[in-house]
Structure 1
Amino acid sequence: MTGTPLSILDLATIEAGGSIPDAFRHSESVASLAERSGYRRIWYAEHHNMPSIASSATAVLIAHIAARTETIGLGAGGIMLPNHSPLVIAEQFGTLAELHPGRISLGLGRAPGTDGATFRALRRTHQAAESFPSDVLELQSYLSDEIPRTGVNAYPGRGTEVPLTILGSSMFGASLAAQLGLPYSFASHFAPQQLTAAVQHYRASYVPSERHPEPYVSAGVTVVAAASDAEAEEIYARTELNRVRTFLSRGRERELTMAEAEPLLNTPAGIEIRGMLQYRAVGGPERVREELERFAAFAQADELITVHAAPTRAEQLESVRIAAPVSA
């Protein structure tokens, strides 16, 4: 059992040869197991035009999972706010908060979560990212009890005070979260480079707010937990290879096979992709918990967002179970 609260990031991934309904059924299984196992919450992330990820309609997926669970926290990690009107997001998450009181949270990112062509298809412009700080404040006001000067309210949304977190992988998000007195979540599970600098800056420059008098940091970490250290290491080797295969298959007419991807592991591109997994906990029950606590201390994290990245559904569920705060 770890002392640091554990949560899960679930991308509702679609297996090769699998289907979107299969991905959603797996997300239901993950949520059910996580609820029994003491995880604090599950976050779902907004991505678009990615054939292996089914969490694009993030609020809809949260509603689906919330209706099939009872107590576990659920939310977005995150909603890419430049893609949306703050009013619409306030209405969506206000609705979720009214349906499932005390269970809904909202992480906000500045990146589009997609490619340029899809960004344009979302009817957004690149200038939208520049208004991210003001959009966060606008969204916050819609979720509060403030009387708006514009006469525009979010119904549902007003008064729900849905908890907000700023997501990031750079100094920008750290600075904004500190300035606004909001929790900060660093995407160290895929962008490890600025973790320590960003967290230190956030904590040092934090401006206390009424709702958050103290800074609060969550950090992403890849997890592969199995019955033994040796089994976990074997699964991680396949996880690493599968990640290289997936990334280097983008833009090709067909995906690379594992055998085709293996010679690419130590190419410059392969090394860069593997470097994204720098922060990880891999091992049997004892070692994986030790590594999670070690990472939490290193990252100065109040909560860890675990990403169970094993290649198969069964291995992912076993990883969730073994790394869990309590035995299911």
Structure 2
Amino acid sequence: MIPFSVLDLAPIVQGGDAAQALRNSLDLARHAERLGYHRYWLAEHHNMAGVASAATSIVIAHVAAGTSTIRVGAGGIMLPNHAPLVIAEQFGTLASLFPGRIDLGLGRAPGSDPVTARALRRHLAGDADGFPQDVLELMGYFRPAEPGQLVQAVPGAGLRVPIWILGSSLFGAQLAAALGLPYAFASHFAPGQMTQAIALYRREFRPSDELAEPRVMLGINVVAAGTDEEARRLWTSLQQAFVNLRRGRPGPFPPPVDDFERDLSPLDRAGLEQALACSVAGSPETVRRWLDGFITRTRADELIVSSPIFDHAARVRSIELTAAVRDELARAG
């Protein structure tokens, strides 16, 4: 069976705060490790009242220090917000503290709005157009330092921290293929070009020192509960969050509500169906059928599961049920 991993945005729920969100992330990571998940990734977002993982490398250190075997990484670092040397030093430090356990996923979106992006960088000289060059520069810092090299990442040089390219369009697929890097597609919120991007990446992949064959990881949303009805109610939290974001009113992660879809406008309904097409909410049997079909259809090499649930205990239960489904699928071959 292909590996399953966990994607976490460290959600700040209504009535909660960032401190509680970060404690929950560590607790969830410990459960994920116990349940045999392969990686635990955290995502960089800024100026969002519902996300506590803005300082992503610090949160990775928090989670890695509280676990022992699971890989921990960024899904991802939005590289246009940072100088490549700074990221090399940060992740070189993480790799030195937690050898063999750190991943670095890179995206070219800002993870924020344009005003926040300016506040992060103080200028707009570094932008998405320079992303390929920034990736190459960053990769260079992880190689062994050469004689006379004027700028080195210390720590970082020689550590060869595994790099993934993240994307939701064909651009990332082309770059990952050209550089011979593993590719993670954000199908959990932008699935529109998933099939095209996977095909392009596999077709154009060039083997490299980092990777001999293409490797595709796909993001999915899974909300698993004892019954379909319970799961669908938990699912309304993410539905509300997406609608609020599209309406320009993001906020803390909302609690579930009854009959949410009943009052949706046709536009909101269509937006949710499009954005959340690679998602399942249901009982273990419903989740099993959906996952079996999704894996067969996409031939993914790995799945990274986001389980956006308001109640932390229900979120832990969801990844437990999902792990049981994973094991059932593995036994079935």
TM-score where L is the length of structure 2: 0.90
Distance 1:150 1:316, change over 3 A: same
The aligned residue for residue 57 of structure 2 is 59
- Give the structure 2 partner of residue 12 of structure 1: 10
Please tell me the root mean square deviation across aligned C-alpha atoms, in Å: 2.4
Aligned mates of 1:24, 1:31 — CA distance in 2: 11
Q: Give the superposition deviation at 1:301.
A: 1.0
- Paired residues of 1:296 and 1:303 also in contact (CA < 8 A): no
| CA gap 1:148/1:81 in 2 versus in 1, 3 angstroms | farther
Residue pair 2:165, 2:172 contacting (<8 A) in 1 also: yes
Deviation digits for residues 202-248 of structure 1, max 9, x if unmatched? Answer: 00010111220100000000101112334323433x24542345325
Task: Output the CA distance in 2 between the equivalents of 1:37 and 1:259.
Answer: 31
Quickly say closer, same or farther: Cα 1:206–1:253, change in 2 above 3 A: closer
Which residue is equivalent to 1:44? 42
Residue equivalent to 2:116 = 118
Contact 1:82–1:124 (CA under 8 A) maintained in structure 2 = no
Q: Which runs of 5+ in 2 are unaligned?
A: 329-333
Q: How has the CA–CA distance of structure 1 residues 80 and 32 changed in structure 2, closer, same or farther, with 3 Å as cutoff?
A: same
**Residue 37 of structure 1 contacts residue 326 of structure 1 at CA under 8 Å; is this kept in 2?**
no
Letter in 2 for 1:159: G
1:1-328 → structure 2 map (5 Å cutoff): 3-122=1-120, 123-125=122-124, 128-147=127-146, 150-236=149-235, 238-239=236-237, 241-247=239-245, 250-251=248-249, 264-324=263-323, 325=326
Change in CA separation of 1:203 and 1:220 when aligned onto 2, cut-off 3 Å: same
Which segments of 5 or more consecutive residues in structure 1 lack a partner in the other structure? none
Hey, what's the Cα distance between the residues in 1 that align with 2:216 and 2:252? 40
Alpha-carbon displacement from aligned partner over 1:160-198 (angstroms, at most 9, x marks no partner)? 110000000000000000000000000000001000000
C-alpha distance in 2 between matches for 1:124 and 1:302: 39
Q: Which amino acid aligns with 1:312?
A: D
Distance 1:142 1:294, change over 3 A: same
Residue 282 of structure 1 aligns with an amino acid whose one-letter code is A
Aligned residue identity for 1:147: E
Relative to structure 1, the CA distance from residue 149 to residue 288 in structure 2 (aligned partners, 3 Å threshold; closer, same or farther) is: farther
Aligned-partner residue type, residue 161 of structure 1: R
Q: Decide whether the 8 Å contact of 1:244 with 1:261 is kept in 2.
A: no
Alpha carbons 2:177, 2:202 under 8 Å: kept: yes
Q: Size of the alignment, in residue pairs? A: 324
